[in-house]
């Protein structure tokens, strides 16, 4: 009597489950024990991708190139003896495509600030696989712990403008699981908001009074001074 095949094991032997475009991955499928030869079939989303026959107890190796988004997803393999019907299915392996991040944008609701004011800075990469990790800098000095965002949301930090040095140049950087893909944002500067002098309203008021006097003086001559002059004659 021939031995029954066990459920095969599908194992990743080259590459990673988080894949980038154009990456090669190799899957190994092996069922033991069982009658030889064995036919191994690899499926992606329940569609046959490839099939190999093995006449010994060596695994079937399937090498794939991730060339489009349709190449990721769930893979399984099936083992069956050539002289029997049916077959056994393996565990599944799930591939996820990771994409590089876009250049992050650093922004704030306000570009002007006064000393003693609280301000916020936001950093966001519009594209790229999540999660994305952000770090904020002033000059070359980092000014915050890393912030890892699981959703497509901006990382936000709060700053207290305490001295003129706090009006320096700010940047942020972003990276994700895509290899060698750290990107830096635009530079952002706060400008010092001009504080109005307390004497400014007084100067404006005096200026208006003077202007009225200059305009009003020629009007006053015919209205008041000439009748007074005539009355005294």
pLDDT digit string, tens, across residues 68-108: 889 999 999 999 987 666 789 999 999 999 999 999 999 99
**Residues 168 and 116 placed together within one structural domain of the fold:** yes
Residue 73: which CATH number?
A: 2.60.40.10
* Residue 213 within any structural domain of the chain: no
**Residues 58 and 116 placed together within one structural domain of the fold:** no
Q: Which domain holds residue 131?
A: 105-192
Whether the predicted pLDDT of 183 surpasses 50:
yes
**Residues 116 and 66 placed together within one structural domain of the fold:** no
The per-residue pLDDT for range 148-170, each reduced to its tens digit, is 999 999 999 999 998 888 988 99
Q: Give residue 219's pLDDT band: very low, low, confident or very high (50, 70, 90).
A: low
Domain count, the chain: 2
* Residue 218 within any structural domain of the chain: no
**Residues 57 and 28 placed together within one structural domain of the fold:** yes
The per-residue pLDDT for range 15-65, each reduced to its tens digit, is 999 999 999 999 999 998 777 889 999 999 989 999 999 999 899 999 999
**Residues 126 and 52 placed together within one structural domain of the fold:** no
Q: Quick one: three-class SS letters along the chain?
A: CCCCCCCCEEEEEECCCEECCCCEEEEEEECCCCCCCEEEEEEECCEEEEEEEECCCCCEEEEEECCCHHHCEEEEEEEEECCCCCCEECCCEEEEECCCCCCCEEECCCCEECCCEEEEEEEECCCCCCCEEEEEEECCEECCCCEEECCCCCEEEEEEECCHHHHCEEEEEEECCCCCCCEECCCEECEECCCCCCCHHHHHHHHHHHHHHHHHHHHHHHHHHHHHHHHCC
**Residues 19 and 71 placed together within one structural domain of the fold:** yes
* Residue 229 within any structural domain of the chain: no
Whether the predicted pLDDT of 228 surpasses 60:
no
């Amino acid at each position: 009597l021939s031995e029954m095949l066990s459920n095969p094991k599908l194992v990743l032997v080259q590459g990673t489950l988080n894949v980038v475009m154009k990456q090669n991955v190799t899957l190994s499928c092996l069922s033991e024990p069982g009658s030889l030869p064995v036919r191994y079939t690899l499926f992606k989303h329940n569609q046959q991708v490839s099939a190999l026959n093995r006449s010994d107890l060596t695994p079937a190796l399937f090498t794939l190139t991730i060339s489009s988004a349709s190449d990721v997803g769930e893979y399984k393999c099936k083992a069956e003896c050539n002289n029997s019907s049916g077959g056994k299915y393996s565990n599944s392996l799930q591939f996820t495509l990771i994409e590089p991040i876009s250049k992050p944008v650093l922004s704030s609701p306000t570009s002007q600030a006064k000393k003693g004011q609280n301000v916020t800075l936001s950093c966001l990469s519009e594209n790229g696989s999540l999660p994305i990790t952000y770090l904020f800098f002033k000059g070359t000095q980092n000014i915050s712990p890393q912030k890892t965002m699981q959703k497509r949301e901006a990382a936000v930090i709060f700053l207290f403008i305490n001295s003129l040095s706090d009006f320096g140049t700010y940047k942020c950087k972003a990276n994700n699981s895509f290899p060698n893909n750290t990107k830096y944002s635009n530079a952002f500067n706060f400008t010092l908001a001009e504080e109005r002098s307390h004497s400014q309203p007084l100067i404006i008021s005096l200026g208006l009074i003077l202007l009225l006097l200059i305009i009003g003086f020629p009007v006053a001559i015919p209205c008041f001074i000439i009748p007074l002059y005539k009355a005294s004659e």
